[in-house]
Amino acid sequence: MHEGIYFSASLSRNLQTEESMPTLIHSLVEQRSSVLSLAATSRYIFSGSQNEDIVVWDNDTFTLKKTLHGHTGSVLALEYAKDNEWLFSSSGDSTVRVWSTITLEPLYLITPYQDTAAGDLFSLAWLPSLQTIFIGCQNTSLQWLNFNDAITRSQSNASLESTGSSSSGVSTPSKSTSQRQAHKFFDSYPLHERRPADIFARNTGSSRIGGRGSPESDLSLTLISAQSHLEIPSQNVFDSAHYGYIYCITPLHPAENAKEPRIATGSGDETVKIWKCQSVGPTLEHQFELNHGAILAIVAHGDTIFAGCQDGYVKVLDLETKTLIRTIIVAEGIDILSMSMLNSDLFTCSADGWVKRWSASFDCIAGWQAHKGIVLSSVVTKRGIGSELVTGGNDSQIKVWDAIPSTQSISHEVQNSPCIGPHATDIMTYALSKFIAIPSVSSIPSHREDCRQAGIWLRKCLGQLGATTSLLPTGEGINPLVLATFAGTVTGHRKPRILFYGHYDVIAAPQQGWDSKPFVMTGKNGYLYGRGVTDNKGPIISIACAAAHLLSHRALGVDLVFLVEGEEECGSLGFREAVRQHKESIGHIDAILVSNSTWITDERPCITYGLRGVIHCGLEISSNRPDLHSGIEGGGVSEPMVDMVKLLATLTDNKNLVQIPGFYDSVRPENEDEKENFKLLSQITHKPAASLESRWREPSLTIHTVEVSGPKNATVIPGTVKAQISLRIVPDQDINVTTQSLIDYLKKVFQGFQSPNDLQTSVNHSADWWLGNLDDPWFKALESAVREEWGKEPLRIREGGSIPSVPYLEKEFHCHALHLPMGQASDQAHLPNERISLNNLNKGRAVVQRFLQKIADDAFRDHLQPVPP
């Protein structure tokens, strides 16, 4: 483990101080009963309990004011209707009751359609503009009652009943004695009595005042007259509104007073649904597939919806664009059971007893152990000139906390610290510091688990920034791919889909030569230091933050698909096979974006438009004899080392030209535009144009290593000699033809030696060359974005190195790739003191934002690739 990084995947900064912690104003004790629901007015606090009652507390003196009896099941939800001064309560007894918050007397009894078949009534939401209460039921139905219609209908029925006849002329019994039907379970007698259920049964044997079957309970029923017993008609039921229990409902306040207000519902089916509400009932407007466990709590602020899920995740949804814009990790593996809003601040209440407060920027500004057990309910209310947060738990406690505005909950010192002030360590650098802390060195077996953890962390990071994420397997013992999609705004036409490719693995970082710890990101003089900051973790986080920024501003008009591997530094093992296997999950792609190289200087932004390909070849010459002593056998045997030296010497001439027949025949000639570009680059870099061309646009051969068997001392004739060579290839050299030409040449030359030794060749790794299309509209859009952000014309450069996945992805998805380098020439990638300019990261993020907005324009739709059938 490395500094606890695996235990904290959250991107939310912990900004709490002693001053930001809330003060406990008062504790209220609900005797031996869990506090399942809460509501509050400026005068009272109402708590719904597991023991079937609603307890009313005075909000000034915190004394018990009254206990409201009537329900015969746990009180699961409370909803305050301020316009009418009503309190709605729903219960496990399949009823909703309405109470006056002024007189604390019962007003209405509401039974759902089909009575108890609705099951537990988990959630309530009141829309004053429609005078309608919405009810989320255990049987997955969404039911509603419009009071204007219901009271008129009830009065009409009561008038008919007073004459002893129904609308059909049939005599009906009076409801003056009982206002509900007997429940076959709650109102049943012991089995041995063999009596049918009725509302006066005492199946629990309880003698508690106000309990089921008690005189006080029966009295509460008779207090509600026939005119006040309201039944939900069949047409006010949306059957199977979800495929799970409807645990939570919230009004969407921006539209509350509109002609068509909206509500959001959350369910055990892992979805949030948006309903447009009219007088005739709700219609489904949109469905968010969150796929992160049951939605147990839901609140809204403006056009933003917060959905609290199982396992400690809060999904942040944008109502206007119908997109997921962020995920907050509250505490992994711990369910979020209640949430409340105070202005733009979010309070989350969890099953571990903790309450946390989150700012509008999703930072944790306070967190505390509020209850010894589970926090089941919460509500924010006004108290005097301030606000208070009321929480209830299964420890029988109701606690009242001060809830001051968030600007006051952070001390003056913290507000003016470098972490929060105008030079803030924002989410990008905070996330990057966590990413760098994972030593994901793919070439060292002891770091294999670190690499896997880096992939897991990155998936969680991108998820919190608003993407839907998954890990794709690449084979046994090979690091997984991270697949994440930032879905753009829902529109009536097809959006561009851009694939961003990167890698989360890094090269080894021995401590020698470093001025700071390689896996602790360090800032100095405008630069961030650490292994991977420029290659390739910094660009990955920068581009992810660009997408997150556009999401949060409802301006992401494309789908940005991240495909990040963990084996790039080892030749992208398993990458191609995994992409082919999961191509359907990746989806159709219109263009590919890469950011995995550096500028040619430190001052001028660049766009890379070409990479050389590579062919790595291993040679082995063996005598099929053991190592020999040179003093005894020297001169009497044909030595493998001599053959190897002679063979390697034939690969190039004294002008360093490769001697493989036909090697240069298919190299693409240089055109006039390229000559002018190299002349410009020569002036800027003060390097000869020929030197740049030989590194970027001309092929080459390199001898990397020569290894011998035996003890490697000066008296031994090695029995086996191995060498590694590579070819860098360029347009239009065919990689397969060039590979075969190399093998054929080596074998032919070796045969000419007439040596008794054996030659074996093997191609260990190869990657094709890549050349971008400078006239492509995608390239021009990226070039324009760089020009606008930096105020400079970007340089067009090529690279002598290779990125195997880029040409492969182009061929696999039949689209063009673009390469935006973010680092500077002095970034020391793969070397000690690797760094990247903080300005470059910020500018790079802004460039990508501009680019994504450009290609989302309607005029760009003509350049989209046709989607295959």
* pLDDT of the residue at 131: 94
pLDDT for 190: 64
The residue-averaged pLDDT of 282-305 equals 94
| CATH number of residue 473's parent domain | 3.40.630.10
Nearest alpha-carbon partner for 339 in 250, 267, 261, 207 = 250
Burial zone of 393 (CB within 10 Å; 0-12 exposed, 13-18 middle, 19+ buried): buried
Boundary of a domain, candidates 329, 353, 388: 329
Average pLDDT over residues 746-764: 96
358: β partners: 346, 364
Task: Say if residue 759 is in the same domain as residue 715.
Answer: yes
Q: How confident is the model at residue 25 (pLDDT cuts 50, 70, 90)?
A: confident
User: Which residues have a Cβ under 8 Å from the Cβ of 769 and sit 6 or more positions away?
Assistant: 610, 611, 612, 613, 729, 730, 731, 733, 735, 802, 807
The pLDDT of residue 213: 41
Give which of 445, 395, 541 is closest to 836, Cα–Cα.
541
Computed from CA positions of residues 89, 91, 93, 96, in that sequence, does the dihedral angle turn out positive or negative? positive
637 and 578 within one domain: no
Q: Residues with catalytic annotation?
A: 505, 568
Q: Would you state the pLDDT for residue 206?
A: 35
Q: Which residue has the tokens 């760009």?
A: 860
Amino acid at position 123, single letter: S
Q: pLDDT-based confidence at 174, cuts 50/70/90?
A: very low
pLDDT bin (cut points 50, 70, 90) of residue 16 is confident
Same structural domain, 500 and 535 = yes
Query: The domain spanning residue 264 has which CATH number?
Result: 2.40.128.630
Q: What is the pLDDT of residue 859?
A: 75
Q: What is the 3-state secondary structure (H, E, C) of 785-831?
A: HHHHHHCCCCEEEEECCCCCHHHHHHHHHCCEEEECCCECCCCCCCC
Write out pLDDT tens, residues 313-344: 999 998 888 889 999 999 999 999 999 999 88
Preceding peptide of 732 cis, ω within 30°: yes
Tell whether 135 is covered by a domain: no
CA distance 764 to 518: 30
pLDDT of residue 185: 53
Structure tokens at 326: 């962020």
DSSP letter, residue 506:
B
Considering the domain architecture, whether residues 511 and 559 belong to the same structural domain is answered as yes
Residues 736 and 815 in one domain: no
Residues 824, 753 within the same domain: no
754 within some domain = yes
Whether the predicted pLDDT of 615 surpasses 80: yes
β-strands 132-137, 121-127 pairing: antiparallel
320 and 455 together in one domain: no
CA dihedral 530, 534, 540, 543 (to 10 degrees): 120
Regarding whether 621 and 600 lie in a shared domain, the answer is no
Q: Which of 329, 347, 379 is the last residue of a domain?
A: 329
User: What is the CB neighbour count within 10 angstroms for residue 310?
Assistant: 18
Global pTM value: 0.78
Q: Where are the alpha helices (DSSP H) in 388-534?
A: 412-415, 427-436, 448-464
What pLDDT was estimated at residue 184? 55
Give the whole-number percent of the chain exceeding pLDDT 70: 87
CA 294 to chain centre: 17
493-504 pLDDT tens trace: 889 999 999 999
Instruction: Say if residue 19's pLDDT is above 90.
Output: no
Residue 281 lies in a domain: yes
Q: Cβ distance 589 to 498 under 8 Å?
A: yes
- HSE-up of residue 52 (Cα within 13 Å, Cβ side): 19
Q: Is 781 a residue whose pLDDT tops 50?
A: yes
Q: What is the pLDDT of residue 503?
A: 98
- Identify the band that residue 407 occupies on the pLDDT scale cut at 50, 70 and 90: very low
Lookup result for tokens 């002593």: 629
Place 603 in a pLDDT band, splitting at 50, 70 and 90: very high
Does residue 337 belong to any structural domain of this protein?
no
Question: In whole angstroms, how far apart are CA 99 and each of 95, 109, 382?
Answer: 13, 9, 21
Closest CA to 459 of 6, 9, 159: 9
Is residue 494 one of the residues assigned to a domain?
yes
- When computed from its CA atoms, the radius of gyration of the chain, rounded to whole angstroms, is 36
Q: Which domain holds residue 836?
A: 427-611+771-863
**Residue positions counted in the chain:** 869
In tens, the pLDDT along 279-293 reads 888 999 999 999 889
Distances in Å between the Cα of 686 and the Cα atoms of 22, 371, 672, 693, 824 are: 62, 68, 21, 14, 16
Mean pLDDT over the full length of the chain: 87
Does residue 34 lie in a domain region?
no
Cis peptide before 536 (omega within 30 of 0): yes
pLDDT(3) > 90: no
Q: In terms of domains, do 706 and 826 share one?
A: no
Average pLDDT over residues 580-592: 96
Q: What is the dihedral of CA 192, 198, 199, 201, to 10 degrees?
A: -20
Nearest to 216 by CA among 69, 48, 110: 69
For 696-705, the pLDDT digits (tens) are 999 999 999 9
User: Domain check: are 638 and 731 in the same one?
Assistant: yes
Q: Other CB atoms closer than 10 Å to residue 280's CB: what's the count?
A: 9
What is the average per-residue pLDDT within 373-378? 96
Number of domains in the chain: 3
> What is the 3-state secondary structure of 654-720?
CCCCECCCCCCCCCCCCCHHHHHHHHHHHHHHCCCHHHHHHHHCCCEEEEEEEEECCCCCCCEECCE
Q: Indicate whether 178 belongs to any domain.
A: no
Look at residues 749, 768, 787 and tell me which one is the last residue of a structural domain: 768
Whether 211 has a pLDDT exceeding 80, the answer reads: no
Q: For helices 838-855 and 427-436, give the axis angle rounded to 10 degrees.
A: 110
Higher pLDDT, 742 or 223: 742
Whether residue 234 is contained in a domain is answered as no
pLDDT in tens, 801-826: 999 999 999 999 999 999 999 999 99
Is there a single domain that holds both residue 516 and residue 449?
yes
Nearest to 312 by CA among 291, 293, 329: 329
pLDDT for 212 equals 39
Q: How far apart are CA 14 and CA 36, in angstroms?
A: 29
Per-residue model confidence (pLDDT) at position 744: 97
Task: Give per-residue pLDDT as tens, 785-795.
Answer: 999 999 999 99
Retrieve residue 597's tokens. 């190289």
User: Domain check: are 458 and 559 in the same one?
Assistant: yes
Give the H/E segment covering residue 348.
Answer: strand 345-350
pLDDT category of residue 865 using cuts at 50, 70 and 90: confident
Longest Cα separation, the chain: 129
- pLDDT greater than 70 at residue 178: no
